[in-house]
Chains A and B, each alone.
Chain A
Amino acid sequence: MGKEKDLLKRLSEPTTRREAFAEVVHTYSRPLYMQIRRLVTWHEDADDVLQNTFLKAWSAIGNFRGDSQLSTWLYRIAMNESLTFLQKRQAQEAVAEPAETAAWTLEGDPYFDGDKAEQLLQEAIGTLPEKQRIVFCMKYFDEMKYEEMSAVLETSVGALKASYHIAVKKIEAYFQASD
């Protein structure tokens, strides 16, 4: 029996569910955190979104039938939670420029050790609309295939390609403008 299959079996049993879910949290907390952190920038926000992701996963685990991989399913929840968070934050920070906010945060953030170029890239990513930001991070940093991204984001491959292309153009323009 494969490791994931065994884990899914234990997740489906009420008596072993909690113990198995602790294993899920242990296995996926790091990769999910890094995905979320790239999108929301700040550690405190990434922490909140990640906890919400696991709580949502726990509350819906009874419905998970293994149609997709567990990692894909968790990834999808994390992206939805991040998107919801970014939309709320954008509404709250409608007055401030996103790049200004990101730069200010990264300069004073003790949990960011990037150089000037990496900081500039994060600023550029911060200027993208939420969905483009997610697509860009999944493709550029995680090197995910469009088909995998399509499964996670439930969006067509064509739409994802177009979104990534536009995001890249915007980031390039941001770098050119900052030279």
Chain B
Amino acid sequence: MDKKEPYSKRNPFTVPEGYFPQLEKRVMRRIGSELQAGQVVGKGMPFQSHPGPRAARLPLRKRLLPFIGAAASIAIVAFIAQTWPDRGRDEAEALQLDHMISKEYAEQGAESAYDYLLLDNETIYEYATEE
């Protein structure tokens, strides 16, 4: 076939009347609608430089969601960082207070015991016979 080429190279295919002008309009319309919708078809596409329309269609709540999440995370970390040493200090203070109270009660108990031991026999009998 290379040498003889006995078969026609004529293009036997035709198109409907007015096909190409209509095709151009259809292609450009589809491109226009994709631009409006901000569809992402491929890497490096021209739409990438115009992310605005897609973002603008999202509700405010959804657009702010990532920022709210980030702010909440930062607040939790900051709270833990600030309160962690205080909690340690509070625990130490509480232990010290417990110790002081215990000591005070212990001292009071000893004093009561001393008072009791210092009572004379008559007073003891009076306490014992009281109804």
Contacts and interface: CB of A to CB of B under 8 A. Distances in A.
A29 B8 CA distance: 23
B82 interface: no
A157 to B, nearest CB: 16
Nearest to B8: A118
Interface string A97-114: 000000000000001111
A28 to B, nearest CB: 11
Q: Classify the secondary structure of A's interface with B.
A: helix
A22 B88 CA distance: 71
Interface residues of A, number: 41
Interface stretch (A48-56, A78-86, A148-156): A48-56
A78 B66 CA distance: 41
Q: Which of A22, A50, A59, A61 has the most CB of B within 10 A?
A: A59
Nearest to A172: B1
Top 10 A-B pairs, shortest CB-CB distance: A114-B12, A63-B44, A59-B41, A59-B42, A59-B45, A118-B12, A62-B44, A168-B1, A111-B14, A54-B27
Interface of B: 1-2, 5, 7-16, 19-20, 23-24, 26-28, 30-32, 34-35, 41-50
Interface of A: 14, 17-18, 21-22, 25-26, 29-30, 33-34, 37-38, 43, 47, 50-51, 54-56, 58-63, 111-115, 117-119, 121-122, 140-141, 168, 171-172
